[in-house]
């Protein structure tokens, strides 16, 4: 081409760079938003609109963010931004969970490393160190969250350790106290001897553990079944350390039991010839094998109900274990394992405790908080339960009670923090009753009123609420909100006095929860109560009660928010955690859920579906992705994933997001490049546009509808896929491709060019807005190219109102045929190009055989218009059958294409091969259209 023509072609031009360089762009944008105070501008802008409140589930302030945090917060941000741009006021207050064992554990670790003893440190000093630790990590996490582009009230977040929050938590537990729902019970709870505290279900992990198993004889003293005279009942247990706490035995009423006599015993075994033993009939073989019983005869058959009421001696009778061991009946006894007779230690198992309580059996205090036996326990005082299995077995052997000893590997509860095995232990704990005041029923009713996304969350939460025991809210720790209760020393009853509660709340609001530990009781008890009569509870609250109360001190207390929340959004494990505790807290104090809807997302796994772990080397840290590629890439990964299930991430997956990002960026760049100098006079109304351009407007109207649906369904994944396909398939590979010639070569004021530029302007308006919640940095970058004002931001916009009149189903159906036709034609030309028979598609003039459907779709189009759709210089529709070697595409029947060469001269400006090249005077090497355009260009230049 000659230099003259080059200057008359309007190639795209924009300052929006091809290469993103997000690492440099994103911090610059963050600084811009900070300087202009974007968050406040968004609030001002949305003033008076309906509120959408996504209440932040607080992350725990004890380390750098991991990829799960990034997923969670980005999802929240996408939803908030979408709501804000849909016309709501979506104020977002991020928060942190600060109290609890993990931080306490860290500080204790530091003490241990420094050779300090926690018990020597005043509790207020210890609590201050925990508070400083939490603050330190809040500041780090805050910066890391902001770097991800999360918009929110970062200057005024909530924390569970703020004095006002602690005071409200005290007020909340006070409501349960005053209503009678909070009670002190004596109960076997999951206990960690290492951390010296009761654990919540969410704090328990199950791991394989090797335990010693023992078969133990309990000699019969008396029985309703006379044949049992002189026999022993046989139990089997995997926790030998609970034998000192044995107080009963259980059988299944309908299970078949037998009395056997040992006739032959293996040498070196513990079975004795002539002894009589009782066990389940189905378990004779395994018991015989374990105990070395090589021969036996059955003396009697009976069912469990026949031996209920049998009294045995504890194996260590005569050594301090003088009580009777009664045989009770229990539904949970089975004959699938062991001996069919269950040893009952009411202080060391939930079922054992209940059975003991129901039958008036003593619940002994056997094991202290550190896992050692109390001083009053005969034979084992001071010994640790973890280390006593062999000694128990030995003492049983000496007493003639051990029949067998073995090992078993089984799933056993461990502390999620210390990884140490747990025990059930009888302790005094505080409980919120599920049923005293109808809390269970209220919570179940609230679940019915709540929207769950996905819907499966409803039954999950319902199942948990239906079957859960009373909520154990006490922990024997220091870093938390105290259970601010006084207990009457003589009656054991908690003091329920609203005036006392109010004094405590005031003190905590002013001085923090430390006030409970450091003040004289009289400060709270006042003149009405004699402080000598009361004991102050020093347990702290389960942290789940803290976070379950956030709705009270965040949503209710802040006028800019509202209660209940529109949405709670967390990982699917929070049915057991935050969704659950918030529901109970709110139903117990306010009679309904603190949320209208609950959305759950899956967990992040490595590419192969494995859990991420340092040892496997497959951990993807959000900080590294951001540093290397940019936060927008991580944000794309979130919306491009189906987060209703577990998500995968790996360097390869990140790379595919970079490719997706590049396509989106190129789309924006193409639009910007071709919109340079667009002015309102160019704008063409839709009715005056060619069909192709109206088809793009139709697609915009469709996507607009999708966008508005998603704003209420939160299914962003599908929407993002649609948007990405729109940019890639509808725009880049189709519309932009076809309209390149019009944009570059047409006269400035051609109708086609004006139509296309008008469409591009609409595309810019819609795409920057729709992409803003997803790639918040890049959308802003693009927006500012055309709207450079100091106070401008894409994030201050709402989604544009796309005219519904743009929707045109008939047009869409017609154009789906045309696109199919085009696919076959371009497929044929692709082959020609590959065979080097043509250089560009503009050298082609295909002969098209097509069914009526396609011919009708193109009715009214000129040959030039159809050629431009195919990017050829001409096209002919042929009648009659197509030659056998014509090009066809299997899934698009009814079309066959014979590629042909265009006849004419190549225009030196637009490269089309046309018959009218050189027909305009003075323009011998260009076509008529181009001659026209060049004339305009010269006029424009003058
Ligand atoms: Zn031309």
Successive 10-residue mean pLDDT values, the chain, 942 residues: 74 95 97 97 97 97 94 97 96 97 89 87 92 97 98 97 98 98 87 86 86 96 95 96 96 95 92 95 94 95 95 95 94 91 91 83 86 93 94 95 94 88 88 94 98 94 91 91 94 93 98 95 94 94 96 95 97 94 98 97 90 85 95 96 91 95 97 95 96 98 93 85 95 97 93 97 98 97 96 96 96 96 96 92 96 94 94 94 93 94 93 92 89 69 42
Check residue 941 and give its pLDDT: 44
Check residue 942 and give its pLDDT: 39
What is each CA distance from 833 to 828, 901, 902, 909, in whole angstroms? 9, 12, 14, 21
- Measured distance CA(158)–CA(164) in Å, rounded: 10
CA of 37 to the centre of ligand 1 (A): 51
> DSSP secondary-structure letter at 901?
B
Give the pLDDT confidence of 5-45 residue by residue, as tens digits. 888 899 999 999 999 999 999 999 999 999 999 999 999 99
Are the beta carbons of 345 and 356 closer than 8 angstroms? no
CA of 911 to the centre of ligand 1 (A): 6
Q: How many CA atoms lie within 13 A of 64 on its CB side?
A: 8
Residues in a beta bridge with 867? none
CA of 905 to the centre of ligand 1 (A): 10
* Site of tokens 């969410």: 202
> DSSP secondary-structure letter at 390?
H
Which 3 state secondary structure label does DSSP give 903? coil
Crossing angle of helices 776-786 and 651-674, in 10° steps, is 10
Find all residues with CB under 8 Å of 742, minimum gap 6, and list them. 750, 752, 753, 756, 868
The closest of 386, 419, 293, 279 to 335, measured between CA atoms, is 279
CA of 168 to the centre of ligand 1 (A): 76
CA of 864 to the centre of ligand 1 (A): 12
Are the beta carbons of 484 and 537 closer than 8 angstroms? yes
CA of 841 to the centre of ligand 1 (A): 15
CA of 925 to the centre of ligand 1 (A): 9
Q: How many CA atoms lie within 13 A of 443 on its CB side?
A: 28
CA of 919 to the centre of ligand 1 (A): 12
Are the beta carbons of 275 and 291 closer than 8 angstroms? no
Cis, bond preceding 83 (omega within 30 deg of 0): no
- 336 alpha-carbon distance from chain centroid: 39
Handedness of CA 491, 492, 497, 502 (dihedral sign): positive
Find all residues with CB under 8 Å of 723, minimum gap 6, and list them. 703, 767, 770, 771
Cα-based torsion angle of the residue sequence 220, 224, 225, 228 in order, rounded to the nearest 10 degrees: 10
Give the number of other Cβ atoms within 10 Å of residue 386's Cβ. 14
CA of 744 to the centre of ligand 1 (A): 11
CA of 910 to the centre of ligand 1 (A): 4
CA of 670 to the centre of ligand 1 (A): 22
Which alpha helices (H) appear in 371-497, and where do they start and end? 389-398, 439-449, 456-467
CA of 833 to the centre of ligand 1 (A): 21
Give the number of other Cβ atoms within 10 Å of residue 301's Cβ. 12
And the tokens for 770? 């729709």
DSSP code string of 327-369: EEE-TT--SSSTTSEEEE-TTS-HHHHHHHHHTT------B-T
Handedness of CA 608, 613, 615, 619 (dihedral sign): positive
Classify strands 471-472 and 423-432 as parallel, antiparallel or unpaired.
antiparallel
And the tokens for 619? 């951990």
Dihedral class, residue 512 (left if φ above 0, else alpha if ψ from -120 to 50, else beta): left
CA of 691 to the centre of ligand 1 (A): 23
Cis, bond preceding 564 (omega within 30 deg of 0): yes
pTM of the model: 0.83
- Measured distance CA(733)–CA(723) in Å, rounded: 14
Handedness of CA 204, 205, 209, 213 (dihedral sign): positive
Check residue 246 and give its pLDDT: 96
And the tokens for 938? 């010269």
And the tokens for 830? 């692709």
What is each CA distance from 719 to 160, 247, 724, 774, in whole angstroms? 36, 63, 9, 11
* Site of tokens 């075994």: 269
Give the helix/strand (H/E) hosting 291: helix 284-291
- Measured distance CA(738)–CA(462) in Å, rounded: 56
CA of 932 to the centre of ligand 1 (A): 9
CA of 856 to the centre of ligand 1 (A): 29
And the tokens for 907? 């225009």
Are the beta carbons of 437 and 180 closer than 8 angstroms? yes
CA of 863 to the centre of ligand 1 (A): 16
Which 3 state secondary structure label does DSSP give 912? coil
Check residue 518 and give its pLDDT: 92
What is each CA distance from 695 to 699, 703, 733, in whole angstroms? 6, 13, 15
- 524 alpha-carbon distance from chain centroid: 42
Give the number of other Cβ atoms within 10 Å of residue 585's Cβ. 29
- Measured distance CA(409)–CA(161) in Å, rounded: 42
Check residue 939 and give its pLDDT: 46
Give the number of other Cβ atoms within 10 Å of residue 112's Cβ. 11
Residues in a beta bridge with 207? 412
CA of 814 to the centre of ligand 1 (A): 29
CA of 563 to the centre of ligand 1 (A): 66
CA of 861 to the centre of ligand 1 (A): 20
- Measured distance CA(92)–CA(579) in Å, rounded: 18
Give the number of other Cβ atoms within 10 Å of residue 261's Cβ. 16
And the tokens for 748? 């400035």
* Site of tokens 């051990």: 402
Number of helices (H), then strands (E), belonging to the chain: the values are: 31, 32
Are the beta carbons of 554 and 578 closer than 8 angstroms? no
Which 3 state secondary structure label does DSSP give 686? helix
CA of 5 to the centre of ligand 1 (A): 10
And the tokens for 708? 């508005």
The closest of 614, 573, 565, 609 to 590, measured between CA atoms, is 565
The closest of 690, 685, 640, 696 to 664, measured between CA atoms, is 640
And the tokens for 348? 């060391």
Which 3 state secondary structure label does DSSP give 268? coil
Are the beta carbons of 638 and 74 closer than 8 angstroms? yes
């Amino acid at each position: 081409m000659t230099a003259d023509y080059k200057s008359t072609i309007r190639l795209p031009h924009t300052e929006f760079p091809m290469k993103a360089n997000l690492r440099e762009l994103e911090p610059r944008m963050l600084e811009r938003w900070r300087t202009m105070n974007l968050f406040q501008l968004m609030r001002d802008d949305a003033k008076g609109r309906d509120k959408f409140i996504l209440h932040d589930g607080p992350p725990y302030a004890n380390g750098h963010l991991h990829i799960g945090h990034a997923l969670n917060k980005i999802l929240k941000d996408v939803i908030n931004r979408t709501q804000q741009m849909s016309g709501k006021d979506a104020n977002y207050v991020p928060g942190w969970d600060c109290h609890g064992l993990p931080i306490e554990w860290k500080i204790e670790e530091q003490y241990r490393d420094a050779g300090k003893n926690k018990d020597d440190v005043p509790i207020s000093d210890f609590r201050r160190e925990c508070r400083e630790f939490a603050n330190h990590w809040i500041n780090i996490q805050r910066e890391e969250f902001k770097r991800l582009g999360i918009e929110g009230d970062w200057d005024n977040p909530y924390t569970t350790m703020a004095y006002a929050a602690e005071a409200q938590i005290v007020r909340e537990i006070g409501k349960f106290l005053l209503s009678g729902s909070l009670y002190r019970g004596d109960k076997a709870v999951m206990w960690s001897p290492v951390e010296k505290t009761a654990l919540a279900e969410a704090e328990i992990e199950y791991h394989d553990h090797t335990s010693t198993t023992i078969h133990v004889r309990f000699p019969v003293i008396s029985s309703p079944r006379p044949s049992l005279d002189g026999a022993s009942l046989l139990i089997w247990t995997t926790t030998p350390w609970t034998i000192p706490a044995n107080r009963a035995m259980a059988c299944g009423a309908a299970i078949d039991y037998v009395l056997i006599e040992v006739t032959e015993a293996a040498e070196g075994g513990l079975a004795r010839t002539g002894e009589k033993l009782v066990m389940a009939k189905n378990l004779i073989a395994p018991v015989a094998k374990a105990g070395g019983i090589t021969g036996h005869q059955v003396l009697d058959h009976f069912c469990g109900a026949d031996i209920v009421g049998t009294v045995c001696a504890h194996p260590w009778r005569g050594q301090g274990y003088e009580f009777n061991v009664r045989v009770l009946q229990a539904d949970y006894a089975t004959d699938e394992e062991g001996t069919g007779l269950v040893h009952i230690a009411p202080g060391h198992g939930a079922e054992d405790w209940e059975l003991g309580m129901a039958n008036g059996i003593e619940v002994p205090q056997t094991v202290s908080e550190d896992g050692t036996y109390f001083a009053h326990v005969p034979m084992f005082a001071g010994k640790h339960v973890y280390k006593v299995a062999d000694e128990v077995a030995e003492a049983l052997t000496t007493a003639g009670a051990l029949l067998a000893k073995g090992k078993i590997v089984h799933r056993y509860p461990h502390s999620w923090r210390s990884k140490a095995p747990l025990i059930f232990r009888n302790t005094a704990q505080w409980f919120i009753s599920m049923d005293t005041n109808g809390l269970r029923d209220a919570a179940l009713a609230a679940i019915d009123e709540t929207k769950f996304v996905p819907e499966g969350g409803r039954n999950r939460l319902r199942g948990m609420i239906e079957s859960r025991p009373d909520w154990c809210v006490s922990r024997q720790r220091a870093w938390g909100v105290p259970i601010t209760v006084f207990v009457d020393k003589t009656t054991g009853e908690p003091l329920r006095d609203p005036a006392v509660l109010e004094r405590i709340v005031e003190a905590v609001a002013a001085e923090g929860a430390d006030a409970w530990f450091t003040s004289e009781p009289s400060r709270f008890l006042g003149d009405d109560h004699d402080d000598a009569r009361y004991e102050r509870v020093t347990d702290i609250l389960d942290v789940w009660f803290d976070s379950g109360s956030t709705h009270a001190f965040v949503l209710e207390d802040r006028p800019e928010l509202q209660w209940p929340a529109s949405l709670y959004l967390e990982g699917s494990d929070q049915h057991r955690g935050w969704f659950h505790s918030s529901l109970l807290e709110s139903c117990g104090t306010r009679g309904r859920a603190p949320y209208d809807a609950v959305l759950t997302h899956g967990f992040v796994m490595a590419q192969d579906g494995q859990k991420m772990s340092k040892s496997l080397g497959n951990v993807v840290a959000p900080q590294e992705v951001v540093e290397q590629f940019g936060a927008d890439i991580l944000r794309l990964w979130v919306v491009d994933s189906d987060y209703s299930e577990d998500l995968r991430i790996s360097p390869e997956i990140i790379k595919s997001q970079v490719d997706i990002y590049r396509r989106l960026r190129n789309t924006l760049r193409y639009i910007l490049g071709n919109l340079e100098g667009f002015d309102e006079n160019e704008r063409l109304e839709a009715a005056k546009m060619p069909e192709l351009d109206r088809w793009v407007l139709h697609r915009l109207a469709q996507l607009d509808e999708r966008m508005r649906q998603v704003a209420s369904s939160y299914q962003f994944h599908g929407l993002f896929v649609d948007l990405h396909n729109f940019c890639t398939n509808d725009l880049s590979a189709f519309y932009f491709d076809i309209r390149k010639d019009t944009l570059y070569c047409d006269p400035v004021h051609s109708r086609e060019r004006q139509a296309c530029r008008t469409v591009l302007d609409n595309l810019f308006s819609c795409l920057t807005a729709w992409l803003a919640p997803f790639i918040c940095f890049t959308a802003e970058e693009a927006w500012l190219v055309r709207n450079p004002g100091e106070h401008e931001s894409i994030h201050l916009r709402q989604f544009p109102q796309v005219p519904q009149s743009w929707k045109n189903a008939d047009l869409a159906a017609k154009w789906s045929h045309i696109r199919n036709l085009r696919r076959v034609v371009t497929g044929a030309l692709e082959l020609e190009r590959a065979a080097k028979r043509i250089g560009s598609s503009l050298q082609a003039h295909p002969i098209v055989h097509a069914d009526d459907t396609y011919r009708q779709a193109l009715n009214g189009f000129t040959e030039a218009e159809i050629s431009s759709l195919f990017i050829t210089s001409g096209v002919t529709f042929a009648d009659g059958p197509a030659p056998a070697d014509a090009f066809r595409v299997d899934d698009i029947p009814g079309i066959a294409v014979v590629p042909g060469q265009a006849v004419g001269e190549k225009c030196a400006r637009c490269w089309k091969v046309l018959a009218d090249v050189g027909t305009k005077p003075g323009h011998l090497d260009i076509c008529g259209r181009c001659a026209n355009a060049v004339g305009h260009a010269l006029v424009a230049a003058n």
